[in-house]
Amino acid sequence: MRLTFLFVCLLPFVLSRHPNVLFLVVDDMRPQLGCFEGEDFPAHPHPQMHTPNIDALAARSLLLKRAHVQQAVCAPSRASVLTGRRPDTTRVHDFLHYWRETGGNFTTIPQYFKENGYKSVGMGKVFHPGHSSGQDDPISWSEKYFHADNSHWESRMHNTWLAVNDSEAEQFPLEDMQLAAHAKQTLKRLTNETQPFFLAVGFHRPHLPFVVPQRFFDLYPQEKVSLPSNPNAPIGMPEIAWADNGELRQYKDMRNGKWYGAINDTLPDEVTLNLRRAYYSAISYTDSLIGDVLSTLDDLGLRDDTIISFWADHGWQLGEHGKWSKSSNFELATHAPMMVSVPGMTDHGVVTEALTEFVDLFPSLVELTGLPAIPLCQQNSSNVLVCHEGCSFVPLITDPKRNWKRAVYSQYPRMYISGDVIMGYAMRTQEHRYTEWLTYDAGTYTPTANIHSRELYDHVIDPDENVNRVNYPEYASIVKELHSVLHAGWRKALPPNI
């Protein structure tokens, strides 16, 4: 089966069945991949990355080089991507709330495919597990959800990283190794099904702790790893923009009573270098497992019948600005890899620099598979089961340089001891990142007009976001314009004629 743009429009009528979907998800992966080398690559310096399998997939995909998540932390981001709605609509800004209880009984991507004739199978970390997804959102799947048994390794995951002896990893496979093996077995089983399949595989790395076989550490010799070029917080950054590196500080090797994650409280150089090396190793480890799954897809002769979606739930900071992890509105937190491989349409690779958002994935996959189109959500969609708050990026396959979104939007909450909530609304345009921290009404899930702080980073001269220029007189007119665009909202930033 070779898909063309015409066939996508006529799929239900000319094909015996819809194409399969392999839905690959990774955790905490910034676009530190070979296929992103260039101006969209994370802050330098960096070693040569070893990601041959993801790079090969990108070479056969629509590579969305400037895709941004809607909130840079696991549960809210995944709830947003998988429902196609923004965090203020899902009402998921943390790990405590489940969108079906707080936002509405919204249909998810795998659920929509299941309800339209697909066998929907999930494994690993697709939704954030636990209450924020109602325990992996059972209604989304056609069969029992799979999680790997990680009991052998749990007692050794108290530090931020561990280089695992390769022979021990073979005897006691790591969580993601088990996941890849189960994905391969599932692909073989699904080959015999009469239904098309939607197979979602969610890898846990490169999330902390970086527990990775030694051979992947060997790809990054210590002398090839460098310190970040910008270890201090941005000049003029408002304090509210900062997160205290709490995720990293929970690990035993970080609890030395000397580092509290405060602004400009940087880690020792040796610790920073070790963490960066371990993170790179975790990326290459994950790449190898993705390669194993894709090799099985090829061995089964399924590549030409299968759309492959690959995305990460958000980016990650590796000591840039003295910041670790995500949980912010900085570029390195919201910018994450996303690509879609469509047989017959992206075989030779398509790269776009258009600004896109992760809420765009739902309508795009629906269009590419020929399922009934889902509408754009109206202003109040809490009672609407199926709609989306993005736009399909399928037109970018045939015209990657076309006029597209004026801006893309992210947000992140902060809470004061007093109980007041401040929501940071960030907007990325072609040249700037602009953020307003607004007092937030947690009862109605809406911001007020009260501006607590603002940030402006000029990516033309400061791509690493080292200077907040919001109060510079020469930027006054730009700030005024960006304020208007931000408050006009995402609907006004959609592509023309969409």
Active site residues: 74, 128
- Looking at residue 140, its amino acid is S
Residue with tokens 């510079």: 472
Specify whether the CB–CB gap between 133 and 110 falls below 8 A.
no
User: What burial class does residue 185 get, using C-beta atoms within 10 Å of its C-beta: 0-12 exposed, 13-18 middle, 19+ buried?
Assistant: exposed
Instruction: Map residue 307 onto helix, strand or coil.
Output: strand
DSSP code of residue 70: S
- Looking at residue 169, its amino acid is A
User: What burial class does residue 17 get, using C-beta atoms within 10 Å of its C-beta: 0-12 exposed, 13-18 middle, 19+ buried?
Assistant: middle
Residue 57 and residue 347: Cα distance in Å, rounded?
10
How many Å from the N-terminal Cα to the C-terminal Cα in the chain?
29
User: What burial class does residue 80 get, using C-beta atoms within 10 Å of its C-beta: 0-12 exposed, 13-18 middle, 19+ buried?
Assistant: buried
Of 340, 341, 343, 318, the C-alpha closest to 330 is: 318
DSSP string over 219-262: TS-GGG----S--SPPBT--GGG----HHHHTSGGG-SSS----
- Paired tokens of 174: 């790591």
- Paired tokens of 294: 């894709």
